Every structure is written in structure tokens, then in C-alpha cells.
Chain A
Amino acid sequence: MAAEQVRTGLHFMSGDEACAEGALAAGCRFFGGYPITPSTEIAEHLARRLPEVNGVFVQMEDELASMAIILGASAAGARAMTATSGPGFSLMMENIGLGMMLELPCVVIDVQRGSPSTGLPTMPGQSDVMQARWGSHGDYESIAYAPWSPQEMFDLTIHCFNVADRYRLPVFLLADEVVGHMVERVAVPACDSIEHWERKHAATPPGEHFEPFKITDPDLVPPIVHAGEGYCIHYTGLTHDERGYPDMTAATHNELVTRLVEKVRVNRENIIRTEGYSLEDAEIVVIAYGCTARSARQAVREARQAGIRAGLLRLISLWPFPEEEIARLATRARSLIVAEMNLGQISREVERCARRPARGVFHAGGMMIPPDPILQAIREASA
């Protein structure tokens, strides 16, 4: 990759801008989007930068078209991305489902804002979490990462492209307005030190017999072929058999949908990411993600200074949910606290996996949860 595609060095950037630079560093050469606060800066930055690297920037007429166009670009082999916020994310749901069914890799950035509905366009929220998991109709498994800094907006965008290409599905970056708009130091590594996971392309040469959705590897990921390569493959949103032909039978449906779900589950070790802070001997474990985790870390620090054995588990990947890790923590932690800028979404998952209630520090959104209420909850839990 040519140098100016990766602006190696130290920068002082907003999260949105860092996300855009991360996409470029990951080799993203296609962006289709629609303006929506608080993600518009990603589009604006890419509108300037993509033409510099021979990439395509298109502003579409709505988010439905934005999601459709990046799937098309991905079908032609491009690393493609869109960026939106809650309202747009809702409009993209049907085509996200199409991306799951066609197994077309792409990246969707959701810079969350106060929701539901128009909500608080310029203020943060974390209430699209369940939508990222269940937003489209049907059984499928989502992959979503939650950055807590502009640096992670850069790093995780690259990771989203890698995971998307490796496992062939849309992958979400669930940021929030705080992380998107805050400006912090961002270190952009050297070009050749940036990991690039290739798509598993079909080995069979075009023209020979090839069944595009036949599974030959334990990772359950079918090798991909792109438009114009001569394979003449049919991709359909209908339930399809190994040849890619529509097959309206319950048996084929059960097999296909189960595989699409298992494809993420069997590979979850390579996908799930969490980070612990003073967790080793923690009796009270706070679980948080995104900008809220910054407050939670501060609260845990202050609790430790007050002699309370508290710790933080920061979820970097929200989906697939780190079930085993939560179950392990639950066995040795006296109590669990979940802090999130919604009225209890990830907390449901925590309680499901811990098999016991967790204390919630919730806020419907609009302002970052400060450390105090989390510290207060820690104190109450340790009393």
C-alpha cells in the first residue's frame, strides 16, 4: 500500500476521523453512506481522502441504498464500509440481513446517539446494542466491537475489516457520540505492520465445477468468488443450497441458517476481545464498554484507593458475547455491576451468563455516565 494511504505517525484526531483513517489503512476503497449526526465526519473525511487513494466515495439517497451499495461493492471484491447512527442503522437492517445471507463482508459503523427515534442527535447513547444483535429479522449471529477511544476507532475499524473478510459477514463498530467526537492522540503504525486478513478465495479455477456454498473447512466459511471472475455464481437472499440455487425446503433452511450462526460461534475465540483492569483479586466486578468504561475504570481506581477490591471487565467485542468469561468471573466475584448508557441491555446478557442478578448503573443516554454513580454502586455492593 502506498504511503499516503496509511498516515504513519502520531496524530491528534477525533474518533470519527480516526475511524476513517483506520478504514483506509485496512485497504477500504469503497464508502457508501448518508449524512447523519454524529457519524457524518467519517463520511466527510472519506469524501476527501478516498479519491486520493483511488477509492470510491458515494453519498447515497438514503441508508437503505447505502447498505445495498456496499454489499454490491463487496460482491465485486472491494473492502466496503458505511457509517451511520441509530436512525440509519434501523433503516439498514433488512440489507444487513441480506449481507448475512449472501455472506458478503463489509463494515458498518454505528456512532450511537441518544435514542430511540430522533432522540439526541448530538449527544451520546449506547442503546443500539440489542439492535446490533437482533435488529434484522431471523436467526443470525452478529459481530460488534465497542471502541472507547479514537485510537480504538482506528484499530478496531481495521479489525472489523479483517474479521468481516475472514468470516464473510457484515461486522459492526458500535461507537458512541463521545468517542466519535472526542479528540485524542492516535498513533498510526507503519504500513507494513498493519494486519490484513485476506478473504478465503475459491481455489477452483473459473469454468470448472464449483459449488460456492459447499463447506469444506471446519471454520464453516465458504470460499468466496467475486463478480467478473468468470465463475457465474448465483447469490440469492432466498434460502439456497450448496450450488447457490434457491431451495425452498425446511431441511436446507435449517442446515443453512444453523451454519450461518455456527460460523461465528465456532470461531469466537478469534473474534471475542475483552480487557481486564485489576480483575485478578476483584470481589466486585464492574462490566462496561465504550465511553462508559472510561468512567468505570476511574471508579474502580478510586474504589481500590478506598481499599475495596473492585475490578473492571471492559467488553471490546459486544457480540458474540463473552459468555464463558462472564460465567468464570461470576463464580469468584461477590457481585457484578453493569454500567451502560441505556436502561439495561448488555446487563441482560451478563445476568444470563452469570445466572444471577447484576446491579445496574444505567442512564438512558445524552450524557456520559460519570465515575460517581459507578463508585457509589461499588460501595453499596461492598457494604
Chain B
Amino acid sequence: MTEPILAEHHPLDDLIRADRMPHIWCPGCGIGIAMRCYAQGILDSGLPVKDHVVVSGIGCSGRVAGYMNLDSYHTTHGRAIPFAMGIKLAKPELMVTVFSGDGDLVAIGGNHLIHAARRNIDVKVICINNFNFGMTGGQFGPTTPRGAIATTAPYGNFELPFNLPYLLAAAGANYIARWTTLHARQLKKSILEAFSKPGFTFIEVLAPCPIGFGKSNNINDGLEEMELYRDRCVMARQGEMNPEELEIDLREDKPILIGKFIDRDRPPFHPFMKGQS
């Protein structure tokens, strides 16, 4: 073997819309990695592919629905979760996953996110957190660290960000984990755990956004951010939710706490049916 063998198909091509490749995400962006973990998770889930449904909102991560060869819905900005809830409640046997970004799920979609977590609805959420609104060119968002530069924060973001695991733990999600796109094996395993966990599961995935966030916060490219992940990520002990430790500012050389934070069994949301217990 002296040269890589040129191939036409990737082993996961049946699960993605190969006829739409290459996708639109920038070189070094991490969304494709997380999507690959999701595709692999679907294959390993033991559920037939036709029972998996993916719903995305608007933004770079919102394009995942369009690239998955599933029943997929690309909805309006921030409204993926209630839309997904509608599918789940109308057809409970489906495994409904919402795959979207920090801007979509936490900024405009924040109200639906915390209520869905409070109700503990049986929808799986994969939230790409690249610390900015990437699709529209790099504005700051609700997870952008204070002081970071963005196109709408040329003097540095003067707002304090959300800390997603902490927020979702308070809201009530049954399963909360944070991984990065470098931890692809753990992410896929976490997605599988989410599939088998009844109730609201939330997986935050840190992903490089070289164009939107990295460039203006001196992280030159995806490679450099993945290196940051390798150097700084520290596995959290489950259930250990010290808020300060959970904060992330990629510009500081400070540990990034990852892993599974919450895995509990609050009763999942079921609409009341007469004649049922």
C-alpha cells in the first residue's frame, strides 16, 4: 500500500446524503465530525434507520438535517425542539433527535430548550457549541466568552455567557454530557447512551469554528482548536457540577471540563391518556 486507495463511497454514505457532498461547512469546522458520530450512533443504535428522525434549526449546525439521509426537518430558527416534540408525541415509537447549534438552541430557542428540559420530553439534543453565530459570519452568542471578539463585539463581548451543562441541569434534563469533536469515540458512545435514556438528553459538543470564532480570537484554524481540546480537556467525575469549573474560554489556558455530568431518572414527559396508568 503506497498510496491511499481512491474510493467512491464512504462507509457511512448510505446514512448521509452523499449526493449533496461536499457539504458547506468550512475547512476545520467540527460539525461534520459530530454529524459523523451521530450517523455512526444511528448505525449502532439497533433501531431501524427509518425510525430515526432528525430536526434542525437555522445556522451552520442547522444544515445537519439536510445532510442526513433520514426523515429530516430543517425548521425555523430556534424552533427545532417544539417541532421535534410534535413528531415525538404524535409518533412515540420514533427516535427524534434535535441537532443544532448554540445560537439556535440557546439564544432564540432558549425558551423552548429550558421548557423541554423542565418537561423532560423524550427528545435527544445534540448542541454544537462553537461559541458564535457562524452562519451569519461570526457574531457573539449566548455562549461566547466575555471579552471575546466578534463581528458584533468589535471591542470584546461585554456579556457573561451561559454555561450549558449547568443551565440544563437546573432546567431538568435527564442526561447531560459535554464532549469535543476531538473526543469522537466518547461522543458516539454518549449519543448511544442518549438514545437509550428516556427523557430529555442534552449533549454539548465543542467544535472548532475557525472562520466565525477562531480567526478573531487568535485560534488560527480547526487544527489549532483541536489541539487546544487535546491539551486542556479534563474528564469530570459524574455528578460533579461546580459551575465555575464548567465555564469555557478557549483564549485562556484553563482546563475544559468534559464528560457526563448528569445521568438521572426524572420521569419523561407523557401526555395524559385516559385509561392509562
Contact = CB atoms under 8 A, between A and B. Distances in A.
A227 B87 contact: yes
A97 B81 CA distance: 18
A175 interface: no
Interface stretch (A62-70, A179-187, A189-197): A62-70
A102 B20 CA distance: 20
B9 interface: no
Q: Chain A at the B interface: mostly helix, strand, loop or mixed?
A: mixed
Nearest to A54: B273
Interface string A190-230: 00000000000000001000000000000000000011111
A68 B51 contact: no
B75 A73 contact: no
Contact of A68 (B53, B71, B82, B274): B82
Contacts of B65: 234, 236
A246 to B, nearest CB: 6
Contacts of A61: 111-112, 115
A232 interface: yes
Contact of A51 (B51, B78, B271): B271
A237 B87 contact: no
A72 B55 contact: yes
B83 interface: yes
A74 B86 contact: yes
B112 A228 contact: no
Given A58-B271, A61-B112, A76-B90, A69 B83 contact: yes
Nearest to B72: A234
Interface in A67-104: 68-78, 80, 94-95, 97-98, 102
A169 B91 CA distance: 20
Contacts of B78: 64
A75 B87 contact: yes
A95 B76 contact: yes
B203 to A, nearest CB: 21
Contacts of B53: 227-228
Interface residues of A, number: 47
Contacts of B70: 232
Given A76-B87, A78-B90, A231-B71, A64 B273 contact: no
Which of A58, A232, A246 has the most CB atoms of chain B within a 10 A radius of its CB? A232
B96 to A, nearest CB: 8
A381 interface: no
A245 interface: yes
A232 B19 CA distance: 14
B89 A73 contact: yes
B111 A72 contact: no
Nearest to A66: B82
Which of B55, B82, B271 has the most CB atoms of chain A within a 10 A radius of its CB? B82
Given A228-B71, A229-B50, A237-B74, A65 B91 contact: no
B274 A52 contact: yes
Interface in A12-65: 30, 32, 51-52, 54, 56-58, 60-62, 64-65
Given A72-B90, A227-B94, A228-B51, A237 B75 contact: yes
B244 interface: no
A275 B90 CA distance: 37
B75 A56 contact: no
Nearest to A207: B50
B161 interface: no
Contact of B82 (A51, A65, A97): A65
A75 B73 contact: yes
Contact of B90 (A64, A80, A235, A236): A80
A30 B83 contact: no
B35 to A, nearest CB: 14
A235 B73 contact: yes
A235 B72 CA distance: 6
Given A229-B50, A230-B50, A76 B82 contact: no
B86 A80 contact: yes
Contacts of B111: 61-62, 64-65
B260 interface: no
A57 B271 CA distance: 7
B93 A65 contact: no
Interface in B120-151: none
A346 to B, nearest CB: 29
Contacts of A246: 66, 74
Contacts of A77: 90-91
Contacts of B83: 68-69, 71-72, 75
Interface in B31-56: 49-51, 53, 55
Contacts of B74: 234-238, 246
A65 B72 contact: no
Given A54-B273, A64-B111, A226-B91, 7 more contacts: A32-B82, A61-B115, A68-B86, A68-B112, A69-B83, A227-B87, A229-B50
Interface of B: 17, 20, 49-51, 53, 55, 65-66, 69-76, 78-79, 81-91, 93-94, 111-112, 115, 271-274
Ranked nearest first, the 7 interchain pairs of A and B with the lowest CB-CB distance are: A72-B86, A76-B90, A236-B74, A65-B82, A68-B82, A69-B86, A73-B86
27 contacts: A51-B274, A57-B272, A61-B115, A65-B82, A65-B115, A68-B86, A69-B85, A69-B89, A72-B83, A73-B86, A73-B90, A74-B90, A75-B73, A76-B86, A95-B76, A95-B79, A98-B76, A228-B53, A229-B50, A234-B73, A235-B73, A236-B65, A236-B74, A237-B75, A237-B76, A245-B17, A245-B20
